[in-house]
């Protein structure tokens, strides 16, 4: 029997919230380290760009259900 959206949310919410908090903390650490570097104005990294793109994908409307597939494709281009 397929679960309702509420049941899935009840099951997944805490883990998803934790993952988002971990991501926010990681980005905060990058920002703090960036602020303390001498060449702070020249900081560019494609991985940070990909994380920002991933955040945009995650924040899109829920009628686009293939977010995990799109993230996998995004991160497969890391090289």
74: domain range?
A: 43-78
In the numeric block, the tokens 């990294």 are attached to 45
How high is the pLDDT of residue 77? Answer: 75
Q: Are residues 14 and 27 in the same domain?
A: yes
Question: HEC profile for 33-57?
Answer: HHHHCCCHHHCCCHHHHHHHHHHHH
Cα–chain center distance at 32: 18
Same domain for 37 and 47? no
Question: DSSP E strands: which ranges in 1-79?
Answer: none
Residues 5 and 32 in one domain: yes
Q: Is the pTM of this model over 0.85?
A: no
- Residue 77 three-state SS: coil
34 touches 55 (CB < 8 A):
no
Q: Are residues 66 and 56 in the same domain?
A: yes
* pLDDT digits 0-9 by tens, 7-50: 999 999 999 999 999 999 999 999 898 887 765 566 788 999 99
Q: Please count the structural domains in the chain.
A: 2
How sure is the predictor about 73, in pLDDT bands with cuts at 50, 70 and 90?
very high
Residues 24 and 50 in one domain: no
Structure tokens at 56: 């945009």
Q: Are residues 10 and 38 in the same domain?
A: yes
For position 40, what pLDDT does the model report? 52
pLDDT at residue number 41: 63
Q: What is the pLDDT of residue 43?
A: 72
């Amino acid at each position: 029997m397929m679960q309702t959206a509420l049941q899935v949310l009840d099951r997944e919410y805490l883990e998803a919230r934790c993952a988002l908090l971990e991501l926010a903390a990681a980005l905060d650490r990058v920002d703090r380290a960036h602020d303390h570097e001498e060449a702070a104005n020249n900081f560019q990294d494609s991985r940070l760009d990909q994380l920002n793109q991933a955040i945009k994908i995650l924040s899109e409307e829920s009628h686009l259900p293939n977010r995990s597939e799109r993230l996998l494709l995004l991160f497969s281009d890391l090289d």
